[in-house]
Structure 1
Amino acid sequence: MLTVEGLHVRAALFRSIRRFFYEKGFLEVDTPVRAPLLLPERHISPVASDGWFLQPSPEQFMKRLLARGCRTIFQICPCFRAGERGSRHLTEFTMLEWYRVDSDYCDLMRDCEELVCYVLDDLAADDRFQSLLDRSCLRTVAVDPPWERLSVAQAFARHCPETVEQALATDRFDELLVEYVEPYLGRYGPAFLVDYPAVCASLARLKPNDESVAERFELYINGMELANGFSELTDGVRQRARFAEELAILEHQDGQQRKMPETFLRDLTAIDTAAGIAFGLDRFLMLLLSESCIDQAVSFGPDELG
């Protein structure tokens, strides 16, 4: 649970983020929190809501706004994922997402660099937060751009006893990433883990000159993953094939038949080139406050709701 001082910091953080995007000409949008159909992703467990589902991300509707003609949009909203509980995970959490057309994942990485520096400078200009920032773990890392860009293959070679290929062959990629690689990322300054294996692409496009990897990255600071961004796959045929694979796996897991997101796929073809990113605001506030548990970065933790 946040203190009163912490609530002021959280509010100032949200104001600063909004100013950053307003100054860059982004349109703030809001989209439905509940939907009858979600994009199929095997690694995300949705939260049911009266026969529908609470959003694990606003992604599907924000992309449909791009298809409608929006060019640069952002949103701060609650998201929900079942089974996510730990020192860095909440079932209900706050996400910042932004999307831009005629862009790729390199543009998003530059956005991240500019956003974090802007917010830290903005908060530092407020006398109320001087002592807090002096104690913040973000003061112990160098945030001046450019930030390190490390490929997944390089990170595994540097920190993990197995190669990426071995990890994928034994279905231990995520486990080994968390155990051996993540703790070393962003220790001395923010770092981008880039170019994920193609099988981890999900909704990201593959690199035109090397289709063994996807144009996807995750941002880390002090060993904590803050953001997941990528160049969007806007090829409806390829995306349908990926969804079909996900649906088959999900139906095998629980025996429930699911529908293909036809409306999303229809709208996807109206988008040319685009990029989008999800940025965890509760975790960012954890770093600002030097907290070790995400419960201390929200107004009420799950154990304080009863």
Structure 2
Amino acid sequence: MQTEKWQPSASIDVLKQRALVLQKIRAFFALRDVLEVDTPALSHATVTDEHLHSFSTQFIHPFAPKAATLYLQTSPEFAMKRLLSAGSGAIYQICKSFRNEETGRFHNPEFTMLEWYRPGFNHLQLMSEIDELIQTVLGCETAERVTYQDSFKQHLNCDPLTATLTEIKTLANQYGYGELAANESNKDTLLMLLFSQHVEPQIGRDRPCFVMDFPASQAALAKISPTNPLVAERFELYFRGVELANGFHELTDGAEQRRRFEGDNTKRQNNGQDIMPIDENFIAAINAGLPNCAGVALGIDRLLMLALDCSRIEQVIAFENSRA
């Protein structure tokens, strides 16, 4: 009933436990001398990734000739990397992020993100620190590590790094995605579909699992491996059917980053999507000297679902979207 929507979707007891977990996370970083920062939720530019969808709004300045379009951040990554280039050292942030996508068991358009960056770390070292945090919060076993290639081979009997688009389409058809695959020209779109539906549910069941060495074509903001050009120094963390985190050994080449953003926009244009403005402040920060570092974005609400044994995201947030 509408009259009941004033009430929170999470119980007060759960919200108290949520506050304790956040205190534990902050204490974790305080012990390691990682600085907590706060960056804007609104930006003049946004992500170009064709699989991410930003909210936008209009800023009407009384002395401006026309309204300016601003975007709600999908993560604080670009602003935090600008701080790194300015000499901040190791930093973390717990903040609201926004994605104009689905709502459901693991999704809410407004959610809480934990993001942190470690200058001098590579992705393997950062994975070890994430493992320590997860054990601190969840009291679980240490995480295992598998490659994207091996997990795909094990569960789908296919090598995702060398398979052709035609071979991936055939595989998708075998799993009932023939209609979708027929007109798909992007191999990665099908790989992501197959991975999410038929690999993710099989990993990290009993203990957390890092999947590492994603295809180079899915590098996003990660470095390409110096030993294998087919893979990126990127990882994701899964536990009990939940995707918890996505991390990179961060790309520090501004020209390459621009090429990737422009490539994203080309894909967007080909798909009939809006072209997104490239964040020139972010590119300038990389060119000014983004230090060698590793970073990760971790979903706090999903982590809390595991910590508090909740089955749906609305059980751990004060007011989910329909009640907001």
With the length of structure 1 as denominator, give the TM-score of the two structures. 0.88
Structure 1 unaligned residues grouped into runs of 5+ = 122-142
In 1, Cα distance between the equivalents of 2:315 and 2:192? 26
> C-alpha deviations, 1:210-245, integer Å up to 9, x for none?
111000000011121100001000011211111110
Is contact 2:248-2:295 (8 Å) kept? Answer: yes
What's 1:249 paired with?
267
What's 2:177 paired with?
none
Q: How many matched pairs?
A: 283
Which residue type is aligned with residue 297 of structure 2?
A
The structure 1 residue matched to 2:141, chosen from 125, 141, 144, is: 144
Cα gap change, 1:260/1:7 in structure 2, threshold over 3 Å: closer, same or farther?
Answer: closer
Q: Is 2:35 the partner of 1:39?
A: no
> C-alpha deviations, 1:86-145, integer Å up to 9, x for none?
211111000000001111111211111111222346xxxxxxxxxxxxxxxxxxxxx333
What's 2:114 paired with?
96
Deviation at 1:163, TM superposition (A): 3.0
In 2, Cα distance between the equivalents of 1:260 and 1:93? 24
What's 2:82 paired with?
64
In 2, Cα distance between the equivalents of 1:77 and 1:280? 10
Deviation at 1:300, TM superposition (A): 1.1
What's 1:159 paired with?
155
What's 1:140 paired with?
none
RMSD: 1.6
What's 1:287 paired with?
306
> C-alpha deviations, 1:55-95, integer Å up to 9, x for none?
10000000000000011000000000002312111110000
- Residue correspondence of structure 1 range 117-266 to structure 2 within 5 A: 117-120=135-138, 143-145=140-142, 147-164=143-160, 165-166=162-163, 169-170=168-169, 171=187, 172-254=190-272, 256-266=274-284
Larger gyration radius, structure 1 or structure 2: 2
What's 1:21 paired with?
29
In 1, Cα distance between the equivalents of 2:164 and 2:154? 14
In 1, Cα distance between the equivalents of 2:151 and 2:74? 28
The structure 2 residue matched to 1:272, chosen from 291, 301, 307, is: 291
In 1, Cα distance between the equivalents of 2:277 and 2:320? 34
Question: In percent, how many aligned pairs have the same letter?
Answer: 39
SS of equivalent residue, structure 1 residue 16: helix
Cα gap change, 1:83/1:259 in structure 2, threshold over 3 Å: closer, same or farther?
Answer: closer
In 1, Cα distance between the equivalents of 2:274 and 2:309? 43
Moved more, 160-169 or 49-58: 160-169
Deviation at 1:161, TM superposition (A): 4.3
Deviation at 1:184, TM superposition (A): 1.1
Which residue type is aligned with residue 32 of structure 2?
K
Deviation at 1:302, TM superposition (A): 1.7
Name the one with the larger strand percent. Answer: 1
Is contact 2:99-2:110 (8 Å) kept? Answer: yes
Is contact 1:218-1:226 (8 Å) kept? Answer: yes
Which residue type is aligned with residue 141 of structure 2?
D
Cα gap change, 1:298/1:258 in structure 2, threshold over 3 Å: closer, same or farther?
Answer: closer
Is contact 2:138-2:306 (8 Å) kept? Answer: no
Cα gap change, 1:159/1:272 in structure 2, threshold over 3 Å: closer, same or farther?
Answer: same
In 2, Cα distance between the equivalents of 1:274 and 1:180? 32
SS of equivalent residue, structure 2 residue 231: strand
Deviation at 1:257, TM superposition (A): 4.5
Moved more, 280-289 or 194-203: 280-289
In 1, Cα distance between the equivalents of 2:231 and 2:321? 38
Deviation at 1:256, TM superposition (A): 4.0
In 2, Cα distance between the equivalents of 1:144 and 1:195? 22
Is contact 1:167-1:173 (8 Å) kept? Answer: no
In 2, Cα distance between the equivalents of 1:277 and 1:203? 11
- Residue correspondence of structure 1 range 100-115 to structure 2 within 5 A: 100-115=118-133
- Residue correspondence of structure 1 range 41-56 to structure 2 within 5 A: 41-50=49-58, 51-56=69-74
> C-alpha deviations, 1:134-187, integer Å up to 9, x for none?
xxxxxxxxx333x21100010011111443144865431011001110001111
Is contact 1:217-1:230 (8 Å) kept? Answer: yes
